[in-house]
Structure formats: structure tokens, C-alpha cells
Structure 1
């Protein structure tokens, strides 16, 4: 699938949103023109756009996936450079939400842009029909709304709104580009205020705020109820408002109350709270201000404090007695039926939100799929509203609403006792507005492992991994443990899979649909083994992992890794042993073992050395590749994107990147199939390593870090063991070091470190806090 029909983009408006959109276009490898107004002083007429790019290069989380992407952004200003839009295939307007300013800009664009070039607005408050008033039919045919979510790099949702005059071909080109190149899930929304996600999200937040004030709940308890137990972000509602900015809420409220129909349920709940007005006035606007509903008190050692909704005073944050048992673990019926204030608040928020969402089909969205996708991707809910309704039961929800005298949305009556989603003949279906079930569609180029699992049984399975037939002679190795951690069961399944794939299939893909590819080795199991002094079992696990990973590397069929999210430690090492990688753009990969007082033990050292010595521009000689790998591994460096993973050598130059997470498995499968014909496994490498003199050089480098306070005492110890492995132990630079000899060196170093009490302390600290111990 190609997005070549859009080869250059212009973004007008270099504020946070516009600049972020431009950065994501550049992340896709597409040139982008970023324009803004000329500043009042006029000394540098393009200062606003230039300043936006400079800020983004320093911002965390980073809008750019690499510094190279930033070079694809051309900056300018509207007065001098607007004529350059003639070279652009898509012009995105992201200026201030004022109709007169937008319409004035469109008048200029109409005279400059070429026919067929798409023009879209990033608005979420102004109807499309008003935006194009006074424009020609030709302009209207090229116009649509593309509503991105902030930050554009990380938020996968893009709502698209077309008008009656929008050309279908233009809309299709934009959809395809946004999907394939920008990595967005494109959801069609109707031209209604707030579209889908923000309309439901704003209603949900307002309900949560109102109910907490009215019921006299503490902020902590409200967030403990309307957070993780509902499958929404653990921030809860008050924490979320702090994150997005408390001062944004009055603007959203004003926008919706001025544009929604007078009988819309939002009108009845929209209200201001004096405490919130006071907080905004005093600069307590959330995380970007002096604090919000939560704050960190610097005078008390950054103690976390929370505001009292009645008095407005801050006090130390407490952990309230929130939902328990099934109610805390996703049983929504149990949650809303809990006696007392927990159940009452849960019902006030959840019941009202779900009823409102149900009311918006078909007003704001054409089907339940659009609503669920919008809330899952726009607000990071684990389940969409209609998936939640299925948990409660549509008829149960309708009966409770009716019993309380509330209107019952028509779609709940249509569903009756039926769910909105079901699985029939191994395929997921949804309930349409015609009262019939329809297959959940998948765009061309999308392959879902979840779909495969509905229709088939695994070829192999144990407690930590499974092997699936994904069609066309390709199988998928899936990790299934918590955080996709790796253990002996994973290694056992790999060993079992090798002869099966060799005899009956063509290729193997290592992939899963968890939030993260793998957090690495199961440290909890390792700690248990240490506590009972089962060191022989640990050594057996290390050797077993080395054998399994080398089995993949030298298998007589192609192996393709398809990671997304975190791929740490052993999760990184399995990728290093693959023939090729098809990575999701948001890949955070690294060998982090030194952070827990260990060294990579599953062959990662040798694979990194091989990559380094083959890297372009690597100086000749045995020492430069070793120094490069030592620097990356000893500091437990993790990439901040797949693009940066190439710079760090975790990915090869010809490894591919998929921008849309939904397309990753399809792309990886086809990469594996492309390698099948004429495939031969690689030859085992032989290394020329610098030996003891090289180890001394690395020790000196580590000591300089120590003197600057960048490395602890124990970091020096761990890095010295790493240096011993990377330099080949006692081998002289003239002696070849085989891959097996290098594996023994790393195995010996790993076992020596795992006996150390200071390494054990690091492992325990990581398990308890999720953070490295700097001992």
C-alpha cells in the first residue's frame, strides 16, 4: 500500500498542535512546510515557526523521532512564503479557533493552491459548513476537517469530517496517508460539535467533577473509583484534568454550550465551580502551572499533596479505601452496584457517560465502532463505551436508566438483550443500526493476531508463550506472560517450535499485541532462585536462552522480529538474533541489564559487536566497535523511537519501520515471506577483540564518568565485567574469538554478578519500585 499521492505537506500554525503535526509528518519521512505569522518586532520574520522547531528538539516526550526528521521541516511565514503551498499535496490549517481568521486564510489559499490539493482544518469546535462559507465549489471539494489529538506523535486517533461537497478521492488520499504514513487510526465523525471523542470525554469529565463536588468526595477517592477500576487511565478524572490543563475546561465548556442544541444533556450538567475558577485565577492550572488538584510541595521534599474540594486547602495525598475485589478489577456491574459512596459515584459517572455515548449514534458517529475507537485511542480507555455497555448488559443499563426516570437511548432499546459485539464462526461482529450483526472490518494491510486467535487454536502453547499459524506458511511466536517477560518456558517453546516450523512452514515472526513487546527476563523468578541459592538453575536458564536464541539465528528459515513499545534486556536480545526486524515506530529498545547489576546474558553482546563492526563510518580496528557497544550497554541506553534504535545499532540500516501499530503484523509477515526464496542462515561470526589492553582503556573511560558523578562505585564493577566480555577476556588481538567463546565469557560474567549482594540489591529495588538503584 502506498501513500505516494501525498509527497509534501504544509502546516499553517506553529503552536503546540500545528508544530506537533508537522513533526509527525517529518517523522514519516515526508517534507513539510511550517508557517506562522510574522512576529510584531519583525526582526526575524519566520521566528515563530523556527522557534517551534527549536523547542520541539528540546521537548520531552519528544515530538520528533530523530534529529534527522527535524531537517525535513522547512520554516517560513504566511506573508512571505504562503505561495509555496502550490507545491504541497495537503495543507493543514491549525491556527487560532476564530472563524474570521480561518476564513481569511482560506480565501488566500484558494488563489494559491493547486487543484486537487487537500485543505483541512484541525478545528474541533467550528462546523465544517461554516468554515467553507463563501468559498468556491472547487475549494469545497478539496476541503475537510482532520482533528488530531495532542501530542500528535503519540496519540493514535485522528477524527475526519467531510462535507456534502468534499471529493471522495481527496478524502481517501488523506485517510490513507494519515493511516499508513502518520500511523493514525482514522475515525469518521459527523459534522457535530466536539465530534466524537471530545464530546463524550468532556461530558465524562464534567460528570466526574460535578459528582465529586456534590457528594463531598475527596479527590483521591474519586480518582480511585473513576480510574483503573473503569479501565480508564489511572490518573482518574481529576488527575487527567491536571494533565491537560484546568484552564482548558472553561473553553471546552463555552464551546460546547454555545454550539450544542439546547436540549442536549450536556447543557444540563455544564456548570462552573468557584474553587476551579479560584485555582485558575491563582495559577493552579495543573501540571503546567503551580499545581492543580494535585501538587508537589517543594518545601516538604516534593511531597505529593491534594486539594480539599470543600475548603480549597492542600493536604498530604492519601491512599483511600477505594473499590475492592471484582469491583476493582474491571467488573463494572459490581462496581456500580457497590453500596455507599463508591457505587453511587461510579454509577453517576459511568451510567451517565454510557447513556450519553449511546445517544450519539447516529448523531455524531455512524456506528458503535467509531465511538469505541475514538474513546480508546483519544482518551486511552481500555474499552470503548459500547464494550463497557456489554459488560453491564444493554438491557440492564436500559432498565436502570428507566427506573430512575432517565431517557433510554434508542440504540439500547434496539439491542435489547443482545450484546453490541459477538464472535460468530471465529469472527468478531458488531450490532448495526439496522438491527443486524456485521463483521468488524479490517482495512487492507491489517492483520490482527487477536482475530487469528478467535478462529484457530495454537500450534504450541505453554504458560509463557504460544505459537500461531498466521497463514501463507508463516507462524507467529507470541509471549504471553506478565509484561511479556521471558523465562525458561519461553525458551522451551522456541526449541520446540524450531523443528515444527522447519518441517511444515516457511518462516517465523516474533510478535505480540501487548502494550510492550517484552520487559525482558523475568526478574521475579531470578530473585526467587537467588533467595534459595539455586544458582545452577539460573545458569541453566542463561545457557538455555543462549541456545534458544542461537537456534533462531541459525534456523533454516527466516525469522523476523516485530516489536512495538518496550523491548528491554532479553526482549532486545531476541530481536538482535532475528534475520530482519519490522519495528513499530514507537520502539523503546535497549540492553538494560547493567542497570540491575548484570550483563546481557543471552547473546546480545556478540550480536551488538557484529552490528558495530559492520556499521557504516565505524573507524577501522578492533577497538572502535567495542567502545561503541560498551558505551551503549554500560549506560543501559534505551532508544526513544525505532529511528533512534537504528542510530544505536539495535536495528540494522535495512530494518523497516511501520508507522501504524495495526499494520505491524501484516508488514512483518510479508517481510518474512520476501526472505523465503533462496534463504540461507548466516555464518557464525569470528571476532578480533582487543583483549586486556582494551579492557584497561574501557576502565579508564568508565572512571572518567565516575569522577564526573555519572557512574556509581558499583557501576564501575559491573562495567568492568562487561568490558571483559566485549574485549574477549584474555584473548590477544591476534587471536580469533569464536561466537561460542564469547557466549561463555558473558555467561561466566553474568553468574559472577548474580552472586554479588549489590547486584541482588539492584534487582530487588527494580522489582519493588520499577526504578534502578544507584548503589
Structure 2
């Protein structure tokens, strides 16, 4: 069975966003909702939802054209369309009687192999199928997406013994491959896994902050970075979720959980939060929440005691990395962290096997549902289970049975990761077929080559993997050295190379700190050597006698983008944000990015004939520092080629890239060098006119003109003309000269230092 067409019923925030993610997988979708009273357009609810999706930030569609795959409709006129769909996702109001009334209509329309599911996060499956035919129960399951569905990897799947196994497998496979989800099987318990733990954690965070008299900034600061939790912390996350959603969730959990559950004593929403909701202070979708921007666009935060807003002050970064030390300090922030995390982690440990049979499932749910770097049990191992238990005992608190033995919850045995069971024995973690991870490889083998910035690994079948592992995977001289060493190693002992890492981002580009240091020292020879080394290293990679395939995810900017442009092929994660952004720091691409990106436009068959259109296209993209908002957009911008692959599930990226690399091995020959027939001064003058026009309109700063002039000179081919074709080395020389010229300008130094300090470009 396959899923070729889907219907989503309920065009609210979640239903519409689920429909958008289905189109990102290339699947046509019917989006249906009610017909409002006295509506002249009976599809107005679904049509309005699609328009909102097109304007949503972050973007719901990986490409705006995907919206064409959604057919809007209504449940009064268009339920008959569902006869040919393979999956119906219900995302309507959280009232069992309303949902069941809809299900009875679906039974009469949908074919017997159609999956019918609910996106509910609060209602048990047993209640939803109660009183309905067994044939419906066989088709029914809960598929709980997390918001926003495009970006959150978790899909909680709840089934019953009556659910047909082949339908479960169909949804699991489709969610994994097409939607990019980690599909976690949950038991039919209140809140399932992620929200059962997550809501408990959030509620603890609110109550303890109020009791200890912490500011929201202090609370979010201590609970986030030290423990691998997103920087939104607790109060920032509540603003994102919407405070108005919390009361119904708490009410539902309170009703569903037994009186003795540890959630019950903390289930009351403080008066301060109730007052905020009543005043419309519901978070980002309202008039502000725990944080807000005032009329002057200055960030403010609320005082949890008085309810008054004042300018937000970011606490100092916590540099302590020993988690026991962070949790043991006598200051209020550490007390807060201990109270919140000890309650949350102990509660989580007490829920095995009630909500899931093993700790691996729970850890996966919290990583992918709440974006924690470590799941609760992985975090316990980082803290130290024995230390944690002894501290609980010292406070005369209950220790969950899972922790009684005070043993590590994960360990490596014979190169394979094992997890602890309730019996105290360990079982190996089984990976799904088709999954390949560097972290598993590292448990089994030592690196082939390594330095502080990069390493080379054997990933089997004659394929090696080059990994960057500096901060933000920025590139420096060590990175270049390891690339060159890897070329020699692979040439002699392997058949192909994959470039990949499992960080949040592929590479944020060159290490700007090194460049700023050289500028301060006026060491122009060092700057020139940095550029030459990068150019020659990337050129050697391009012409290596074996296929090179990159497997990027997240940011691939500047030098990180340039290395991808030099590879034979790319297998990209769908969430790839790729671009040549050097103008933002007062520079132009200097590691071959100009020549390689221009080459793509010169070879693009759909442009008007002539030498100038490709130069204009490359100039626009680089000059405006355009960054793709997805891998699909990266193809449209020609950062990726039409033959490059896209993987929806990040967990499958390395395996897909390895397969692509192996497919290129037979009779592989390096690419032929490119010859550049460029228009020279004619194009340079034309580009100069366009940038001066932008400056006159206030869309370009004075220094933008300086950078644009250097970029135009390079892309136009310098002082050449069409009768004097340039080699790649000629183009690299133009890049080098322009780069060094800009580096010596004070305005470039100002842009570089501002980017390092704030993470944002300076418009000087």
C-alpha cells in the first residue's frame, strides 16, 4: 500500500501546516473545513488558511509553488472527494462527540485501505473509537504532529490492537521517508510521551521561578544552554506555544491522570498567568507574553510578581560545563535548575513502562518533540545517575525503580550502544534498515585522520567520510589541511568520499576571527595565503580522481557553500539554507565561489542567449547575499544542480549520500576544466549602473557600492573581452585580488567585527 493522496480536515493552524508539509513531500492534499454561516464563498476557511500559509514565518512551504498541490474545500460539499485518498487526517476541535460525528461520515466515504487518523494531543484513542464499528477501529490511529510540522521531526503514533498492522507500517514508512519524521510508537496514555513530560517540565518551570523570585531571563538562561535545551528555555517556549493553550491542556491532563500522579500537585496555573491570558498577553500571537517588543522595538520582559514590563536584560553566559557543579551551587539560579530538572527527570523515570516500553523511545520523543539536544535519560547519564539518586535520597525524595541500581542508562559494548531496562540488564539499540550515522561509526572505529577542525572516517564499502567539527563547523587552515590529507588518503585506499557532519549546521563558513586578527596585524600575506590555500584545496577536491559527494544540512554559508559548489554531487537534507553571503561582511567569495557559481549560470540552458545574462544572474544572487530557504530553493538558485538529491529525513542523509557516491564510482572521471568567455567592461558598466540605481533608491549603502564594484569586476572577467577566454586560475586570481583589496578597507573590518559581536550584518 502507498500514500499518493491525502485529505486534511480542519484548516486551523495545525491542520493547514500539516497540509503544507504533505505538499513538501510532493503529495496532493484536499484541505477541508466547515462552511461559515451566511458565507458567500463556501470554501473561505480553507482558502484563507492557504493564503496565511503563504505568508507564514518561518515558511510552511519549502517552495511557494507547493501551495498549488492543496485543493481547498468544505465538509458539506466535498467529502465525496475522499473516496480516492489514502490517508485522512482529522485536525478539528478537541471534542470527542464532534470528532465522532465526522468519523461516521468518513466511514461511508473512505475505501477500506484508507488510513484515518486524528492529530489530537489530548484525547485517548479508546475514547475516539468508542461506539464506532470495528472496521473503523481497524483503519484508525492517532498521528500527533508537533508544531510547526515542517520543522519538528517528531510524529507520535498511537494505535490499538484492532489497528491493521499493514496500515501502521504504511504510515510509518511514509512519515519516515516522505515527511522526514521520527515516527515514535506511543501507548494510549494522557499526553502520550512528549507532552506528558514536556507539560510537566513547563509547569514546574513556571511555579519554581515564581517561588524563587527569578526573572524570566534568569530562569531561561540557567535551564537552557547548560543542559542542551533550546535558548527559548521555558518562558520563551511558552510564548511560542501560546499561553492560552496551556489551561485546556492542564485541564485535560488533570482529568485524565490518576489522583496519585505527580502531575496533580503542580497542575494549577498561577494567578499571574491567568491574568496575562485574560489581558491578551498570550505570547507571540498576542500582545506579547513573558517577553514582548515595545513600541520602540525594544525587548521587554514581565515581572512575575508585579506583572509590570521593563527592558529585558540578558544574564551572563554560563561557562560552567560540569552539570553537577551547575546543579549544586547555592545561588537561586542553580536551585531553580535542580528543582525543575530533578522533578522532571525523576517523573520521567517513573513513567517507564507506563508511557513507553523503553528509555530510547522517550529520549527520541523529547529530542525531536521539544528540540532537546539530549533526551531525559541521556541527560541523566551526563549528570551522573549515582550522583542524582544520592541527591534525591539526601532530600528524602522517592527514587524511581529504574534508577535504584544507580547505574548508567546507556553504555557501549563491542562498539554498539546499549540501553538499560527495568530489570537492570542492557539491550542493544537496533537501528532501522537504511540508517547510517557517524556517531555509530565512531563507536566502532578510530578516525583515519584528525585535527582540531576535521576528521576522516571509514564508513564502509570503500567510502570515507570527511567531518567538520569546529564551532559552527567554521573552516580554517586546519580544515584545509585535513581536506588535502583526506584527498591523498582516499586516493590510495578508498573509492569515494562523502563530506558530512551531524552538527546542527553543515558549515557557517570561514572562521572570521582568524581573518580579523590578520587584519588588525595588517598581515596581508597571511590573508593572501588563507585565500590561496582555500582556492587550491577546493580545486584539488574538485579534480580528485574519485567522486566527492557532500551531504549538508542546516546552514551552508560562505566557504561552506563554496565547498559544496566544488563537489561532484550533493545529497542535501530538505532543510538546507545555502548561500554565498560574503558581502554581508564586506567581502566577496574568495575560495572559488564566484567562478563555480558563475559557471552554473553560464551552463544554464534557460537563460537568454549572450554572455551578459549569466553574469547578471550570478551578480544578483551573490550581491544580495541570497540564501535558500530549503533545498528545493537551493536548486532554483542553482546552488544545487538538477541532478542533486534531496533527503527529507535527516537521519537517512548519510546513507543516501553514500549510495550516491557509490553510484558514481563506475568509470568515474573528474570534470573537465571550464573556460570562461566573459564580456569584460561592458557587463561591469551595466552592473555598476544597476547598483547605483539601488543606492539612489536607498536600497544600497555607500559601501555596498564598493563591494559591488569588486564583485562586478570579477564576474565580468576583469579587463578581458569575449575573444580572450579565461581559465579557472584566471578567475581565481581575480577573486584573490578583489578579496585582498576589500580586506584592507576599514568598512570591511567594521562589518566583520559587527558580525562576530552580534551575529548580524552591518549596513555601513
TM bin (shorter chain): over 0.9
Aligned to 1:556: 545
Aligned to 2:720: 731
Q: Which one of the candidate residues 147, 156, 161 is aligned to 2:158?
A: 161
Q: Distance in 1 between matches of 2:331 and 2:654?
A: 46
Q: Which one of the candidate residues 299, 306, 322 is aligned to 2:301?
A: 306
269-278 or 361-370: bigger deviation: 269-278
Alignment of 1:60-459 (within 5 A): 60-298=57-295, 301-320=296-315, 325-326=319-320, 329=321, 331-413=322-404, 416-459=405-448
Q: Tell me by how many angstroms 1:403 deviates.
A: 3.9
Alignment of 1:699-710 (within 5 A): 699-710=688-699
Aligned to 1:617: 606
Deviations along 1:180-228, one digit per CA (max 9) or x if unpaired, are: 1100011111100100111111111111111122222222222222222
Alignment of 1:607-646 (within 5 A): 607-646=596-635
Q: Distance in 1 between matches of 2:214 and 2:457?
A: 48
Q: Distance in 1 between matches of 2:591 and 2:248?
A: 54
Aligned to 1:600: 589
Q: Tell me by how many angstroms 1:12 deviates.
A: 0.9
- Is the CA contact (8 Å cut-off) linking 1:333 and 1:391 kept in structure 2? no
Check if 1:523 corresponds to 2:512: yes
Determine helix, strand or coil for the equivalent of 2:398.
Answer: coil
Check if 1:571 corresponds to 2:555: no
Aligned to 1:662: 651
Q: Distance in 2 between matches of 1:325 and 1:305?
A: 25
217-226 or 464-473: bigger deviation: 217-226
Q: Distance in 1 between matches of 2:484 and 2:685?
A: 39
Check if 1:25 corresponds to 2:22: yes
Q: Distance in 2 between matches of 1:725 and 1:332?
A: 51
Q: Distance in 2 between matches of 1:566 and 1:497?
A: 23
Q: Tell me by how many angstroms 1:172 deviates.
A: 0.7
TM-score, L = length of structure 1: 0.97
* Gap runs ≥5 in structure 2: none
Q: Distance in 2 between matches of 1:770 and 1:325?
A: 19
Aligned to 1:683: 672
- Is the CA contact (8 Å cut-off) linking 1:586 and 1:640 kept in structure 2? yes
Q: Tell me by how many angstroms 1:648 deviates.
A: 0.5
- CA RMSD, 1 decimal: 1.4
Determine helix, strand or coil for the equivalent of 1:57.
Answer: helix
Q: Distance in 2 between matches of 1:431 and 1:598?
A: 52
20-29 or 286-295: bigger deviation: 286-295
Deviations along 1:92-119, one digit per CA (max 9) or x if unpaired, are: 1111111111101111111111111111
Q: Tell me by how many angstroms 1:325 deviates.
A: 4.8
Relative to structure 1, the CA distance from residue 76 to residue 451 in structure 2 (aligned partners, 3 Å threshold; closer, same or farther) is: same
Relative to structure 1, the CA distance from residue 509 to residue 394 in structure 2 (aligned partners, 3 Å threshold; closer, same or farther) is: same
Q: Tell me by how many angstroms 1:321 deviates.
A: 6.4
- Is the CA contact (8 Å cut-off) linking 2:389 and 2:406 kept in structure 1? no
Q: Tell me by how many angstroms 1:674 deviates.
A: 0.4
Determine helix, strand or coil for the equivalent of 1:467.
Answer: strand
Q: Distance in 1 between matches of 2:223 and 2:466?
A: 36
- Is the CA contact (8 Å cut-off) linking 2:419 and 2:427 kept in structure 1? yes
- Is the CA contact (8 Å cut-off) linking 2:6 and 2:30 kept in structure 1? yes
Relative to structure 1, the CA distance from residue 567 to residue 321 in structure 2 (aligned partners, 3 Å threshold; closer, same or farther) is: closer
Aligned to 2:487: 498
Determine helix, strand or coil for the equivalent of 2:427.
Answer: strand
Q: Tell me by how many angstroms 1:162 deviates.
A: 0.7
Deviations along 1:298-345, one digit per CA (max 9) or x if unpaired, are: 2xx3332222222222222234468x553xx3x332222111423322
Q: Tell me by how many angstroms 1:599 deviates.
A: 0.7
Q: Tell me by how many angstroms 1:616 deviates.
A: 3.8
284-293 or 519-528: bigger deviation: 284-293
Q: Tell me by how many angstroms 1:39 deviates.
A: 2.2
Tell me the matched-pair count.
764
Deviations along 1:426-480, one digit per CA (max 9) or x if unpaired, are: 2111112343211222111110001111111111112211111110000111111
Q: Distance in 2 between matches of 1:128 and 1:28?
A: 27
Q: Distance in 2 between matches of 1:242 and 1:276?
A: 11
Q: Tell me by how many angstroms 1:423 deviates.
A: 1.1
Q: Tell me by how many angstroms 1:361 deviates.
A: 0.9
- Is the CA contact (8 Å cut-off) linking 1:221 and 1:321 kept in structure 2? no
Q: Tell me by how many angstroms 1:748 deviates.
A: 0.8
Determine helix, strand or coil for the equivalent of 2:664.
Answer: helix
Q: Tell me by how many angstroms 1:262 deviates.
A: 1.6
* Gap runs ≥5 in structure 1: none
Q: Distance in 1 between matches of 2:483 and 2:208?
A: 52
TM-score, L = length of structure 2: 0.98
Q: Which one of the candidate residues 449, 470, 482 is aligned to 2:459?
A: 470
Relative to structure 1, the CA distance from residue 567 to residue 320 in structure 2 (aligned partners, 3 Å threshold; closer, same or farther) is: closer
Deviations along 1:73-94, one digit per CA (max 9) or x if unpaired, are: 1221111111111111111111
Q: Tell me by how many angstroms 1:134 deviates.
A: 2.2
Q: Tell me by how many angstroms 1:174 deviates.
A: 0.2
Check if 1:741 corresponds to 2:730: yes
Q: Distance in 2 between matches of 1:606 and 1:406?
A: 65
- Is the CA contact (8 Å cut-off) linking 1:687 and 1:736 kept in structure 2? yes
Q: Tell me by how many angstroms 1:615 deviates.
A: 2.0
